[in-house]
Amino acid sequence: MQSFHPPKRTLMGPGPSDVPRRVLQALARPTIGHLDPAFVGMMDEVKIMLRQAFCTDNALTFPISAPGSAGMECCFANLVEPDDEVIICINGVFGGRMKENVERMGGIAHVVEDAWGTPVDPNKVRAAFVQHPKAKILAFVHAETSTGVRSDAKTLCAIAREFGALSLVDAVTSLGGIELQVDAWGIDAIYSGSQKCLSCPPGLSPVSFSKRAAEVIASRTHKVRSWFLDLSLVMAYWQGDGARTYHHTAPVNAMVGLHEGLIMLHEEGLQNAWVRHGLMHEHLKAGLENLGLRFVVEEQYRLPQLNAVQFPASVQDEAKVRRHLLEQHNLEIGAGLGALAGKVWRIGLMGASACEENIEICLSALEASIKQCGQTTAID
């Protein structure tokens, strides 16, 4: 056995995105104790910077020590009690996972379905509330990474409010990439991930809960079904002012990496980061269309950070093109997921990956690989 040295890749899939050198260097700093006052002080800064990134004053804002899927599970585990009714919007892979979470927590899921590649329809959500007036929560995905669609979070959260329900939002791919206003839009529970538009390594999930959500959690009648994700326990560590108690050993170095990534976001400015993702998307779009690739999603609903495209008819073996991109050009793009598997490519422009240099690499590599694979297919 020898030390592992990963190949140098350009990451333009659905996550992880390219991790800047600054963040990698931060990860390599010495490990200290997770109750060391120096570490605790850094964690307080992480919480402040996460509030800024989420545009919220929520006290209950911190990173879960596990990937985005754990943030999802944390929100459902703490807010859903047995027999609670939850309206779940499904327009791609991740909405389906939300339904699974509700059912595992003993809740009842009422599904609002929209076609893959289209946003959640607010009229259907309204109709679902009329049909299920006791629904306690509305849950939906802001940025559906499986299709590249943005749903109107502001409107959907307002509907939840109108019917006295909490809103629970998946912002794994949206945080840091497109406008997201937790307080102004009235979002009650939200989770994200470190490895998409924040450009940190995978493994952490920033979450935030409104005061209303915190009150609902505090007045639960059943114990939270997950010990690890039970916020009443986790918070003794994250919020125990001056008297933090051991819950689990926080992934110290990963937190230092997130701290650095958040500083970089702060230095750039949140709005500037949103603008950059939009601009880079415009540049990539022009190049992809030149190559004969067609966008799956209607222009007004597209996510700049996740470009789902259909490939030209000359591509008979799409997996072969992706393999060629990886092996010959060190470029990773995403395959289709779920209903779109084998039908589309997903080209990510997340965080540090959303830059001119990556776009040039991507367009020239795609052109060469499509040509190359098309020719060899014709011969063999």
C-alpha torsion 265→269→270→276, nearest 10? -90
Q: Which tokens is 210 given?
A: 């409104």
At closest approach, how far in Å is the CB of 41 from ligand PLP? Answer: 27
Neighbours of 30 (CB within 10 A): 7
Stretch near ligand PLP under the rule CB under 6 A, chosen from 81-89, 166-174, 320-328, 347-355: 166-174
Q: Say which residues have a Cβ less than 8 Å from residue 90's Cβ, sequence separation at least 6.
A: 96, 98, 99, 111, 112, 113, 114
CA distances, 96 to each of 70, 111, 116, 146 (Å): 15, 9, 12, 11
Residues in 141-160 that interact with ligand PLP by CB under 6 A? 141, 145
Of 107 and 193, the one with the shorter C-beta distance to ligand PLP is: 193
Residues in 174-193 that interact with ligand PLP by CB under 6 A? 193
Of 244 and 346, the one with the shorter C-beta distance to ligand PLP is: 346
Half-sphere exposure of 226 (CA within 13 A, CB side): 19
Of 92 and 107, the one with the shorter C-beta distance to ligand PLP is: 92
Of 75 and 373, the one with the shorter C-beta distance to ligand PLP is: 75
Residues in 43-82 that interact with ligand PLP by CB under 6 A? 67-69, 72
Which own/partner pairs from 230-239 qualify as long-range (CB within 8 Å, at least 24 positions apart)?
Answer: 230/77, 230/78, 231/60, 231/74, 231/78, 234/64, 235/60, 238/43, 238/47, 238/62, 239/59, 239/60
Strand pairing of 108-113 and 137-141?
unpaired
In DSSP terms, 108 is beta-bridged to: 85
The site that binds ligand PLP (CB under 6 A) totals a number of residues, namely 13
Ranked by CB distance to ligand PLP, the top (closest) residue is: 68
At closest approach, how far in Å is the CB of 371 from ligand PLP? Answer: 31
Interaction mask 278-317, ligand PLP, x per CB under 6 A = ----------------------------------------
Of 69 and 253, the one with the shorter C-beta distance to ligand PLP is: 69
At closest approach, how far in Å is the CB of 68 from ligand PLP? Answer: 2
Stretch near ligand PLP under the rule CB under 6 A, chosen from 165-173, 212-220, 241-249, 261-269: 165-173
Neighbours of 5 (CB within 10 A): 6
Choose, by CB under 6 A, the member of 135, 172, 178, 256 that binds ligand PLP: 172
Place of tokens 């995105």: 17
CA distances, 267 to each of 138, 261, 262, 340, 378 (Å): 34, 10, 9, 37, 50
Of 136 and 142, the one with the shorter C-beta distance to ligand PLP is: 142
Of 129 and 209, the one with the shorter C-beta distance to ligand PLP is: 209
Choose, by CB under 6 A, the member of 15, 177, 257, 351 that binds ligand PLP: 15
Quick check: 94 binds ligand PLP (CB under 6 A)?
Answer: yes
At closest approach, how far in Å is the CB of 144 from ligand PLP? Answer: 6
Q: Cite the DSSP H helix spans in 228-355.
A: 231-238, 252-268, 270-290, 318-329
Choose, by CB under 6 A, the member of 61, 173, 199, 353 that binds ligand PLP: 173
At closest approach, how far in Å is the CB of 93 from ligand PLP? Answer: 8
Q: Which tokens is 246 given?
A: 């051991």
Q: Say which residues have a Cβ less than 8 Å from residue 275's Cβ, sequence separation at least 6.
A: none
Please say whether the beta carbons of 318 and 374 come within 8 A. Answer: no
Of 68 and 304, the one with the shorter C-beta distance to ligand PLP is: 68
Residues in 185-244 that interact with ligand PLP by CB under 6 A? 193, 202
Residues in contact with ligand PLP by CB under 6 A are 15, 67-69, 72, 94, 141, 145, 170, 172-173, 193, 202
